[in-house]
Structure 1
Amino acid sequence: MTHKMGSNHGLTLVELMVSLAIGAALMLAGATLFLNSRQSYVQDEQAAYVQEVGRYSLRFLSRELGLAGFVGGVQQPELIEVEQTLLNGAELTPSSNCYHFLLNVAEGLSHFNNVTEQGLETEGNGSVTGRSLPTDCFSDSETLMRDSDVIVVRRVKDSPTVIQGAEQASVNATATYLSVVRYNEMFALNTGTASNLANDEASADIWAETDLWEYMPQLLYVRVRNSERCANDTFETVELCRLRLNQSGSGLAPTQCLVEGVERMNLVYGLDTDDDLVVDTFTEQPTPAQLKNAISTRLTVLARSDQTDSRYIDDKSYELGSVTFTPSADDNSCNDRIRRSMFGSTVLLRNMDAVGL
């Protein structure tokens, strides 16, 4: 009986090449799908970050601007007396110009247009105006964002700490308070210790007519902090920060940064020059006298992502008042790899002279 031996044939060269080609195509398709999915995730994540930063900063700044100049119902802030116990605090030095600047309660709002890295105000063409923030408001290591505005909002807390001698909350001995004595229209800024007359029997009648409001001015600005590297250039972290009074002693509290990702802010004010509560003219560089006639402001915030994306190029231009910012024209190549978005809102300045009186 004869048996036939079966023969096993392998893949031919053509079949092998076809198999490899199909496998390579499938791997390429899978890799492409993964990269596209990853890019879509990065894009969505950065867009969500920009939206969150923009909305938060716009809401915060809008609220502060709306309360600028609110001093517990006092119609003439220039009548408020700043007591010497504040001006001559033990922790103060003769160079504490920034502290005294924040105590200038007569000006509910101060504005510095398109500042330099050192806090000098400039016009739209970059030339300095001669106005500047006190140099001791910032540390030597701080760098302000060029061409961003700086504002100082002076106001009291939303609700009083004491109403007609009755405490609604504890009086902080070292905080700063606005004392409003109703019957004789006496208004003064002083420490919590000096303002609190609850245990002073000789002043019982005055205390029964006294309201205390905690005074909480804020200097709001955008600063730059170098923290990471992008290719051969420095990736600059930008932050919206504030400077306030110290509640645990006289002088200034340490700088507090509220949110990363705010690159610039710009304000354009609507001025009422004939007291009819209608905007007559707009300016982005108001004088202190003009600010008293401001009844609204157009607030614009430029927010950006916290990371670069090598597959994205920001070739847009952003109009911030008289300044046009084009990231792709910047010397730093990192700036055109960042996602950005502008956020804007119109805020009614309810407590400035033109509206409040």
Structure 2
Amino acid sequence: MKFSRIDRQRGFSLIELMVSILLGLFLTAGVISVYIDSKSNYQSEDELARIQENGRYALELLKRELALVGFFGGNLNTGGIAPGTVTADCSANWTLNTDEPLDFINDFASSLTTVNGITLGCLSSADIVPGTDLVTIKRTAGDFTLKNGVYNDGLTKADDSQWYLRMAGFGDVMEWTYIDSSGGFDSADVGLGSEVAYWEYNTNIFYIRNYSVDTDDGVPTLCAERLVGDSISNQCLIEGIEDMQIEFGVDTDGDGVPNQFKAAPTGAELGTAVVARIYLLVRSIDPVAGYTNEKTYSLGEKAVAAKNDRYLRRVFTTTIQMRNTTLPAT
């Protein structure tokens, strides 16, 4: 008797195949989810680090400027200095006029006229973020370039293309001097005992521009119209600064201590301000995938409503004493 044996080879059944495919999809989805979460966390940490760096740098920059506003080589009597003229000014004879070293526009809407009545013609209204503050600061450097004919440590000549406040007779005579690329200080002023000092001069208008490099990039940026060479020109400094609010501590009784803080001071009140409180709202440069910002922010008296977008934000604030704005004239 013969027996025949048929060897059968079995594969996956349809149900088994479908189950394995489904398990594979679950595993793939899990891997993708972990990847997306990791990428989002990395992006969030990277953007937060940039926010911290930009916010702190912007605060330090504004703190130094406001701490020195109204400082003109340590001389208390600058009213007699002839204003002088730069090639491209922001307003007629404004840049080299020391009468009002601090000026301000609160919550910019459309007007470029400051609380002291100066129209800042070097700015473009279309570039400024509405509702943000503008502040103008005039000062000399915190240290001299030349004093009694001797250069400061580490210096051997004047900077090219730079305005200086020249003081002769230890401040009895004060005038503006522009050093171009063709030469330095007058040779008669250099040498111990000349009783002549030179101090670098700076003028800045700080504001928030609605773009960084290209007009359509949408990156808010802290910019400055500043005295560079013999003209006022634009320099953008720090990206991601979305809002700037400054409140001034006004001294109403002349004791050097602020009696009240004003977000919208008048020109007269600004002239008696001894303290400035700075608020900056700093935004991430790029949106973060999977994140929605539903937070509201407080910048002093100003409340910023939730944007409901994908940008991270942080508020930075500091208070600085302005010792030079209300110094008595001699």
Shared fold by TM > 0.5?
yes
- State the Cα deviation string for residues 42-72 of structure 1 (Å, max 9, x = none): 2222222222211111111111111111111
Match runs of 1:262-281 below 5 Å: 262-281=241-260
Answer yes or no: is 1:244 the counterpart of 2:233. Answer: no
RMSD: 3.1
1:149 Cα offset (Å): 0.7
Equivalent residues of 1:151, 1:220 under 8 A apart: yes
Q: Distance in 2 between matches of 1:224 and 1:319?
A: 20
Equivalent residues of 1:295, 1:354 under 8 A apart: no
1:309 Cα offset (Å): 3.3
Match runs of 1:177-196 below 5 Å: 177-183=164-170, 185-192=172-179, 196=185
Task: Give the corresponding residue for 2:51.
Answer: 50
Task: Give the corresponding residue for 1:156.
Answer: 140
Q: Give the stretch that moved more between structures: 73-82 or 260-269.
A: 73-82
Task: Give the corresponding residue for 1:331.
Answer: none
**Which letter maps to 1:110?**
D
Task: Give the corresponding residue for 2:14.
Answer: 13
CA shift in 2, pair 1:184/1:133, >3 Å: closer
1:356 Cα offset (Å): 9.7
Q: Distance in 2 between matches of 1:310 and 1:355?
A: 55
1:344 Cα offset (Å): 0.3
Q: Give the stretch that moved more between structures: 146-155 or 186-195.
A: 186-195
Counterpart of 2:202 in 1: which secondary structure?
A: coil
Equivalent residues of 1:118, 1:144 under 8 A apart: no
Equivalent residues of 1:277, 1:355 under 8 A apart: no
Equivalent residues of 1:238, 1:262 under 8 A apart: yes
- State the Cα deviation string for residues 280-306 of structure 1 (Å, max 9, x = none): 111112233322322211100011011
Task: Give the corresponding residue for 2:287.
Answer: 308
Task: Give the corresponding residue for 2:38.
Answer: 37
CA shift in 2, pair 1:63/1:204, >3 Å: closer
CA shift in 2, pair 1:30/1:216, >3 Å: same
Counterpart of 2:219 in 1: which secondary structure?
A: strand
Answer yes or no: is 1:323 the counterpart of 2:286. Answer: no
Q: Distance in 2 between matches of 1:102 and 1:197?
A: 23
Corresponding residue pairs, total: 324
Equivalent residues of 2:91, 2:118 under 8 A apart: no
CA shift in 2, pair 1:113/1:195, >3 Å: farther
Q: Distance in 2 between matches of 1:61 and 1:112?
A: 16
Equivalent residues of 1:292, 1:354 under 8 A apart: no
Give % identity: 27
Structure 1 spans left out of the alignment, 5+ residues: 122-128, 329-334
Equivalent residues of 1:349, 1:355 under 8 A apart: no
With normalisation by structure 1, the TM-score equals: 0.80
Q: Distance in 1 between matches of 2:270 and 2:116?
A: 18
Q: 1:113 aligns with which of 103, 106, 127?
A: 106
Q: Distance in 2 between matches of 1:167 and 1:188?
A: 19
Structure number with the higher helix fraction is 1
Task: Give the corresponding residue for 2:324.
Answer: 351
- State the Cα deviation string for residues 91-125 of structure 1 (Å, max 9, x = none): 45xxx44362222212221121111255356xxxx
Answer yes or no: is 1:215 the counterpart of 2:201. Answer: yes
Q: Distance in 1 between matches of 2:131 and 2:81?
A: 34
1:318 Cα offset (Å): 2.3
Counterpart of 1:59 in 2: which secondary structure?
A: helix
**Which letter maps to 2:138?**
R
With normalisation by structure 2, the TM-score equals: 0.86
Q: Distance in 1 between matches of 2:212 and 2:144?
A: 41
Answer yes or no: is 1:138 the counterpart of 2:139. Answer: no
Equivalent residues of 1:112, 1:132 under 8 A apart: no
- State the Cα deviation string for residues 305-328 of structure 1 (Å, max 9, x = none): 112235222222223344332243
Equivalent residues of 2:210, 2:218 under 8 A apart: yes
